């Protein structure tokens, strides 16, 4: 199985899709889940349009240089058959005999012109077209034209002229000349010829196809230059007007066929756009046009995809005609006629074509309409048909999307609209983000201000805590000290004071190591129950502490106030507090007793009055 004729290097591809738009048969697929396009080899006709438009040079065709070097190194005799358009390619070489010698220097045993093969094929066309039996033909010299018909216009296969190309005729010729065992290498401008060569075996076999670009690379590799070689002419037989084959209508001149507008029976069409239109019109209107069609996909073989980029068509055409004029100036036409007669009889000119239908089944019209709706081309006034997608109409593009050949992003107007919508959305989003940013900045400013106020409040609170005579301590759920004041530190003794010098406030210390069990269990109880313990007296050694423990954050933080009851100021305050409490309680009790006594006296008075009234009534 041969490698694909044309491939795309994903690393070099810039995803511009120029190749997709240039392909005349939609053989380059762009799926929705992929970025880099892929060439479908079965659909490819080898025209090379994609090569011509790929700026990053990410597209390459099958390289035959190694195959040719192996053929030459094998010890077999290898023949180079050279296309007439070589004179247009090598404008940097002053004499054609120099590039003939340069080719020999690569190791070729013989170098023959394909132009003689053109002369033989041209004679077959003259006979076919002049002996008209009612069927109009399309010339079959151009491999992309043949592939286009076989793959996408199979109904026209019967209209392909049943004549082999000059390359195949020349391969048969050199095997007549040098023996069936020789290897044949075709050197020409067409990459489609690489696939054409695979179709033939036996005497018609072409073992390898080199493009002119590949030939130049081989010259560079072997350091072969015009200045270092002598003259050498082509091996006979030499071609006659077949030297004009590089120009599209050159084969007609070689055949002596007229293109006269009044009397001629042949139309020549060249170039991608003209070819596609010519194929359509031949299929639909040939019985009205009543002409044979001489077709070349490129604008003459001298502009083939296997030639150097940047070539000037009319300069190359001039070089080809100048070469033909120079060669034919002293040409032995008589000997040429003898050679033609001698070799034509033993060459099989019969060409066979295959139905390789690559047309995809049409998708449901509903799906096509859905795609047209997606890309905004449902109404007639919206269908620009600009052709920028590579398709002739919006409907045809939608059909291709439905077939899975391409994706909606290939529609320029849809893509631009999507980008504009995205830019609009992005602009609105940016505006919202700007406003959000302003709000965040303001919020941050307020947060900093509040943080500063909180810090100041904390500092004030801490300062106040430090100045309180009572011991203050705040602990977390693990009974680790969060904060304590100096009074608390002092109450613990000298060891705690030393630690305080290193860790102010004993922050992080375990309460269990600072206070006895009966004290820190109060903290545990408060953290668990979330209820305050007030004025609990606890004896610790020779001290009597009054402790109040209160929850600050449920189950998480608790605080306590500890007072040494033996301190004079605390004792005085506590005595006053407790006396006041006793007085308040006694007053309350007295009030209750007075209330009860008052209520009892009233009842007694009421009863006595009742007795007196009863006694008075009895006397009466």
pLDDT digits (tens, 9 = 90+) for 58-75: 999 999 999 999 999 999
CA dihedral 567, 571, 577, 579 (to 10 degrees): 170
Out of 143-157, 216-230, 590-604, least confident range: 590-604
Using CA atoms, how far apart are residues 529 and 542, in angstroms rounded to an integer? 30
Residue corresponding to tokens 């072997």 = 222
3-state secondary structure of 97: helix
3-state secondary structure of 295: strand
Average pLDDT value over all residues in the chain: 85
Inter-residue contact 100 to 234 (CB < 8 Å): yes
pLDDT digits (tens, 9 = 90+) for 444-472: 888 888 888 877 776 776 777 777 778 88
pLDDT digits (tens, 9 = 90+) for 259-303: 887 788 999 999 999 999 999 999 999 999 999 999 999 999 999
Count of CA atoms in the C-beta half-sphere (13 A) of 140? 29
Using CA atoms, how far apart are residues 170 and 339, in angstroms rounded to an integer? 13
Using CA atoms, how far apart are residues 299 and 271, in angstroms rounded to an integer? 5
pLDDT digits (tens, 9 = 90+) for 523-572: 888 888 888 888 888 877 777 878 888 898 888 898 888 887 777 655 55
Q: Is 271 exposed, middle or buried (0-12, 13-18, 19+ CB in 10 A)?
A: middle
Backbone phi, psi, residue 254, to 5°: -65, -30
Tell me if the pTM is above 0.85: no
pLDDT digits (tens, 9 = 90+) for 408-417: 766 766 666 6
Quote the tokens at residue 138.
């399309």
pLDDT at 304: 94
Q: Is 486 exposed, middle or buried (0-12, 13-18, 19+ CB in 10 A)?
A: middle
Residues in the chain: 620
Number of H helices, E strands in the chain: 21, 15
Banded pLDDT at 439 (limits 50, 70, 90): confident
β-bridge mates for residue 295, sequence order: 269
Using CA atoms, how far apart are residues 139 and 296, in angstroms rounded to an integer? 9
């Amino acid at each position: 199985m041969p490698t694909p004729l044309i491939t795309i290097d994903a690393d070099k591809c810039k995803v511009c899709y120029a190749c997709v738009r240039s392909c005349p048969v939609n053989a380059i697929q762009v799926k929705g889940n992929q970025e880099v396009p892929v060439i479908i080899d079965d659909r490819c006709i080898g025209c090379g349009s994609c090569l011509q438009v790929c700026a990053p040079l990410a597209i390459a065709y099958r390289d035959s240089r190694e195959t040719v070097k192996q053929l030459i190194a094998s010890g077999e005799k290898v023949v180079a058959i050279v296309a007439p358009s070589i004179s247009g390619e090598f404008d940097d070489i002053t004499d054609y005999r120099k590039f003939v010698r340069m080719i020999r220097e690569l190791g070729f045993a013989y170098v023959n012109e394909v132009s003689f093969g053109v002369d033989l094929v041209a004679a077959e066309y003259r006979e076919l077209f002049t002996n008209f039996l009612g069927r109009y033909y399309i010339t079959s010299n151009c491999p992309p034209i043949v592939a286009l018909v076989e793959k996408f216009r199979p109904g026209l296969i019967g209209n392909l002229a049943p004549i082999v190309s000059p390359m195949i005729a020349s391969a048969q010729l050199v095997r007549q000349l040098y023996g069936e065992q020789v290897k044949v290498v075709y050197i020409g401008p067409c990459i489609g010829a690489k696939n054409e060569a695979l179709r033939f075996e036996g005497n018609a076999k072409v073992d390898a196809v080199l493009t002119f670009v590949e030939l130049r690379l081989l010259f560079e590799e072997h350091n072969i230059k015009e200045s270092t070689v002598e003259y050498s002419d082509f091996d006979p037989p030499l071609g006659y007007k077949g030297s004009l084959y590089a120009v599209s209508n050159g084969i007609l001149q070689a055949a002596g066929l007229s293109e006269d507008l009044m009397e001629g029976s042949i139309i020549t069409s060249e170039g991608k756009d003209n070819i596609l239109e010519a194929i359509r019109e031949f299929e639909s209107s040939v019985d009205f046009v009543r002409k044979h069609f001489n077709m070349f996909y490129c604008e003459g073989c001298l502009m083939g995809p296997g030639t150097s980029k940047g070539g000037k068509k009319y300069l190359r055409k001039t070089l080809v005609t100048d070469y033909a004029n120079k060669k034919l100036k002293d040409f032995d036409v008589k000997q040429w006629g003898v050679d033609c007669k001698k070799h034509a009889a033993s060459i099989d000119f019969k060409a066979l074509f295959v139905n390789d239908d690559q047309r995809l089944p049409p998708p449901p019209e509903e799906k096509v309409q859905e795609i047209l709706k997606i890309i905004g081309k449902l109404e007639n006034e919206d269908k620009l048909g600009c052709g920028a997608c590579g398709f002739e109409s919006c409907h045809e593009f939608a059909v291709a999307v439905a077939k899975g050949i391409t994706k909606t992003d290939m529609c320029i107007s849809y893509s631009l609209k999507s980008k504009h919508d995205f830019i609009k959305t992005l602009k609105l989003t940016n505006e919202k983000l700007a406003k959000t940013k302003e709000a965040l900045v303001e919020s941050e400013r307020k947060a900093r201000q509040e943080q500063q106020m909180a810090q100041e409040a904390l500092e004030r609170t801490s300062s106040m805590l430090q100045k309180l005579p009572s011991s203050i301590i705040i602990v977390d759920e693990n009974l680790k000290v969060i904060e304590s004041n100096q009074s608390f530190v002092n109450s613990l003794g000298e060891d705690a004071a030393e630690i305080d010098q290193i860790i102010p406030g004993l922050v992080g210390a375990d309460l269990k190591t600072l206070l006895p069990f009966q004290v820190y269990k109060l903290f545990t109880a408060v953290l668990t129950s979330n209820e305050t313990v007030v004025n609990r007296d606890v004896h610790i050694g020779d001290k009597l502490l009054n402790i109040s423990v209160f929850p600050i954050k449920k189950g998480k933080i608790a605080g306590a106030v500890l007072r040494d009851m033996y301190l004079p100021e605390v004792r005085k305050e506590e005595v006053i507090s407790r006396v006041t409490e006793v007085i308040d309680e006694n007053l309350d009790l007295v009030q209750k007793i007075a209330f009860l006594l008052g209520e009892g006296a009233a009842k007694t008075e009421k009863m006595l009055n009742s007795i007196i009234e009863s006694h008075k009534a009895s006397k009466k």
